[in-house]
Structure 1
Amino acid sequence: MGARNSLPAALGPTFAVRDALAAGVGAGRLRGADLERPFHGIRARDRAAASEDPWGTRRAEIRWLATALAPRLRRDQFFSHETAAAIWGAPLYGDGPIELHVSVMGRGAVARRRGVRGHRAHPDSARIRAVRGLPVASFATMWAMLGADLTRDQLVAVGDFGCRVWRDGVNRPDPGREPLTTREQLAAAMNASRRHGGARLREAHPLIRTDAWSPRETTTRLILLAAGLPEPELNRDVFDAFGGFLACVDMSYPAFKVAVEYQGQLHGQQYARDIERIERLRADGWIVIQVTADTIRYPNVVVRRVREALLTRGWRPTS
């Protein structure tokens, strides 16, 4: 057991074999069963733990692999596409085996390695940032790159995540925190060069908003808009006639007192708080439509419920 504790702390959780050998670690120790071999010439400890959320598990695994590969990247290489999305914390949509996406800036050699998908980026159309200590495509660059892989609605969800403005409000987290990107930056990245999936990017960009808080909320909003319903206000703080705070509502039509709430998997105290929040709204005269992961599989059901609520409150289609 003593040998397992002999790795120099300076090597960190992931390290190159050459660095370990230079630090005096023996070749036998580098074959230890407690060390992972994510890539040739790389050893790693502390593999990402599984999560109840499959997207959380995929995101953590991508980040772990990227951290392991980072010591072998050249100065002109950086993580891009889905790999960059995972590092930024953006919504993910891949469901196959994980490949790390590595782009090279300019004329350098494209990455070729097992488990790595190489790309070439032009200096005029790509920007690099340091995120979690890793070289990563800027959020706007990453979003534009994903036009080749994601649907329009998925691109809207990623854009919503990046453009979220952290506003002041009742019990809101991190007011004043800078958004990861802006709609203007997304447009600049989209138009910086001819992009694979450029048509989808151009369709998605006008639908991106600054007040969406989750991909499921984005999906629900896009379902309502596609059906010709009016666009709801997003994450609005609602107060009663006496100024008492009732709730921050995912999507709402204040003029008609109709609210649309996306409910994830709720447990314990969060479940109790959400029930109380909805009951406060209903007591104040709001119609609350609740949408779940099961409901969203049937867009016509979501549309019918919201349409009927709006019609009940006096809304009329304009055409």
Structure 2
Amino acid sequence: MPRRHAPLPSTLSTPFAYAEARAMGVTAGRLRGSDLERPFHATRILTDPATRSAFAGPQAIDARVRARVLERARAYSRVMSRRGFFTGMTAAALLGCPLPDGFDPDADLSVGTVHPHRAARARGVAGFQTREHLAHVMDVGGLRVTTPASTWAMLGGELSERWLVIMGDHFVRVPRDHRGRAMPNARLATPAQLEAAALAPGRRHRKALVRALTSVRVGSASRLETEYRLDAEAARLPHMDLDVEVRGADGALIAIVDGMHRAFDLIVEVEGDHHRTDRAQWNRDIDRTAALAAQGWEVVRLTSRRIRDGSATSVVRSALHRHGWSGPRGH
């Protein structure tokens, strides 16, 4: 029968510092309990296997990964120097960026300090020292995190050019509210801010950042959308407008589409897995496709499989030719 652990004080939130718990009267023996994880020196996290095993499906798995990074960052923040801040891929996860396949939420946290203060040295932490003008810091849910532009620029030597574009697109996109209205003040960064961060004096990997910046565009709302766009550009498909509002003759909004080849009456929609698994979303997609068709648009819907296996550009190329495009037919 599993051993029952003595309850922790209700005022002790998890994660917590060892010293914090001891000050509340928790015994050293209780703090060695098997239900408490010790991710960093002098910190504890109350484990909850049931909650972690509840995640299933791509979106939920992504949420689990981000929740784990946040949990560990909060734990380390209990003992982190007041001069420290999260950066690199840790900051990217905390800022909601798309994360590369195989990203390990239990990898060392990336923690920066500004010269002349020493880099952090601790188990589970990758510390480094930088200059103040290269790492601007903001508050994210009570954590000190590099700003989106600084985070992006500081990943120049860690990510491929393709991934720098994916993350750049994420940072510069203009979110929309539940009614589809653009909210430019809610965007995480502007292209000009990314450029300024890349060109800051002393910035390492500047050439890679500048190359990636030439491909960053406002309008991609997901990793899949950016990946398809980059593949379409490499395949020499014609220019595609992004995040376009489609309205009827009366001015009423019919849809906001991922991509549009306006000259060829063709719309491209990139469908994440939730379009398949969410019944309400599935029904909305069907209704919207019918409404667009009634306005004379052909809608090409691209699944993640199509994009990942490279066949998406061929599908769109064929549709473009049906609508009069005379570009290369490819292979």
TM-score by length of 1: 0.90
Structure 1 residues without counterparts, runs of 5 or longer: none
Deviates more, 1:171-180 or 1:306-315: 171-180
CA positional deviation for 1:204: 1.2
Count of residues in correspondence between the two structures: 315
CA apart distance, 1:244: 4.5
1:230 matched to 2:238? The reply is yes
> Which residue is 2:21 aligned to?
20
5 Å matches for 1:284-295? 284-295=295-306
Q: Are residues 1:49 and 2:52 paired?
A: yes
Residue by residue over 1:54-79, the C-alpha shift from the partner in whole angstroms, topping out at 9 and shown as x without a partner, is 33322221111101100111122111
Does the alignment pair 1:206 with 2:214?
Answer: yes
Matched with 2:77 is 70
**Quick check: 1:35 aligned with 2:42?**
no
Task: Classify 1:3/1:294 alpha carbon distance in 2 versus 1 (closer, same or farther; 3 Å).
Answer: closer
**Contact residue 251 and residue 259 of structure 1 kept, 8 A:** yes
Q: Could you tell me which residue of structure 2 aligns to residue 298 of structure 1?
A: 309
Contact residue 87 and residue 132 of structure 1 kept, 8 A: no
Distance 1:101 1:272 in 2: 42
Residue deviations 1:115-139 (CA, integer Å, cap 9, x gap): 2111211112111111011011111
Q: 1:46-195 residue pairs with structure 2 within 5 A?
A: 49=52, 51=55, 52-53=57-58, 54-93=61-100, 95=102, 97=104, 98-166=107-175, 171-172=179-180, 175=183, 177-195=185-203
* Structure 1 residues 46 and 185: CA distance shift in structure 2, 3 A: farther
Are the structure 2 counterparts of residues 294 and 2 from structure 1 closer, same or farther at C-alpha, using a change threshold of 3 Å? closer
- State whether residues 149 and 197 of structure 1, in contact with CA within 8 Å, keep that contact through their aligned partners in structure 2: no
In structure 1, C-alpha distance between the alignment counterparts of 2:250 and 2:132, rounded to whole Å: 56
Once the two structures are aligned, what percentage of the paired residues are identical?
36
Report SS of the residue matched to 1:49: helix
Distance 1:252 1:142 in 2: 31
Bigger Cα displacement from structure 2, 29-38 vs 143-152: 29-38
Structure 2 unmatched runs, 5+: none
Q: CA RMSD in A?
A: 2.4
| 254, 257, 269: which one aligns with 1:261 | 269
Q: Aligned-pair distance for 1:307?
A: 2.1
The aligned amino acid for 1:219 is E
Aligned with 2:291 (options 261, 276, 280): 280
Q: Distance in 1 between matches of 2:260 and 2:268?
A: 6
TM-score (norm 2): 0.87
Contact 1:147–1:195, Cα closer than 8 Å, also in 2: no
Q: Equivalent residue of 1:65, what SS?
A: helix
Task: Decide whether the 8 Å contact of 1:238 with 1:248 is kept in 2.
Answer: yes
User: What SS is found at the alignment partner of 2:163?
Assistant: helix
